[in-house]
Amino acid sequence: MLICGKGGCGKSTVAALLAIAMQKRGKRVFLVDADESNIGLYRMLGLTPPEPLLDTLGGKQGFREKTSSPGLTFGGSPPLFPKGLALDDLPDACIASADGIRVMSVGKIHHFGEGCACPMGKLFRMLFSSLQFEAQDLAIVDTAAGVEHFGRSLDGQCDQILCVVDPSYESIMMAGRVDAFAREARLPAAFVLNRVTPEVDGELSAALGGTPVIGRLPDSRSIFLNNLRGTPLVAGMPEVDAICDALELTWK
C-alpha cells in the first residue's frame, strides 16, 4: 500500500498510525520510507534511523556498479535481488524494529550536489518486484511528496493507493491527479482526509466529488505537539481503526 499526497499533508503521520494499528490486528507490518528527503518517519515510532538500503549496497556508485556489472550481486547470488526474496533476508543494518513493526529506508540524499533520486526509484522497483510476501505481511510505503512515483511506475509494484488530503486547495487538486493516475495504473485508490474540523469537513468532502473517502482524521493537538517536539506518536485513535476496517473490507 502506497501512501501519497502533497507535501505536508500528513503522509508520514498516517503511515505510522496505520502501521501501529495494523500490527495490533495481527499484520506483520513492513513500513518503508521511500521519501529521499523526509527524515521524520522513524522519530514517529521512537526509532533511530538505520542505514538506508542504498547505502548497504555501496551508495549510488556501488548500486550503479552492481546493476551494470552482471558479475556483481546482492547476497552472493544473481540477480541483485533473487526472486522470492523474503523480508527476513534483507540486511539487518537497514532494518529498525518497534513493537513488531519493521521499518526500512530505501535511500536518502546525504550531500550537496550528489545527484538526483533516480537510483532510489530503480532500487525500489527491483526490490519490490523480487520480494515475496506471506498472508499476514503488509507493506506500507511512505512516498515522497507529489506524483513523481507515478512517473517512475513505482506504484506498479503495489496493490493499493492511499492518498492523504488536508484542507487546502493544492491538496484537493493533488487528489484529483492521484485518482487519475491510479485509474491509468488500474490500481484501487482510496482517500483519507487529514486535519479535519467540523467547519471544513463538508466543504472538503464536496470538493473531492465522488472520490472514495474511507476515513477522516481530526485536527489533533496531541499529534501536532508530538510532531513539533519530535516525540513518538500516541496510538489508539478510533478514527484510525475505522480506516483499517475500511481497508480490510476492500482486501477481502
Taking only the tens place, the pLDDT of each residue in 114-166 is 888 888 988 998 899 899 998 899 999 999 888 888 877 777 778 899 999 99
A 10 A CB-CB count for 246 gives: 15
Burial of 76 (0-12, 13-18, 19+ CB in 10 A): exposed
Q: Where are the domains of the chain?
A: 2-251
Segment 39-72, tens digit of pLDDT: 889 999 999 988 999 999 999 988 888 887 655 4
- The listed CATH number (3.40.50.300, 3.20.20.60, 3.30.565.10, 3.40.47.10) that belongs to domain 2-251: 3.40.50.300
27 Cβ partners below 8 Å, 6+ apart? 136, 137, 138
Residue 34 is placed in which grid cell?
A: 521511500
Cα torsion 204, 235, 233, 162: sign: negative
Q: At 6, is the pLDDT very low, low, confident or very high (cuts 50, 70, 90)? A: very high
Angle at 143 (CA atoms; ends 133, 104), nearest 5 degrees: 50
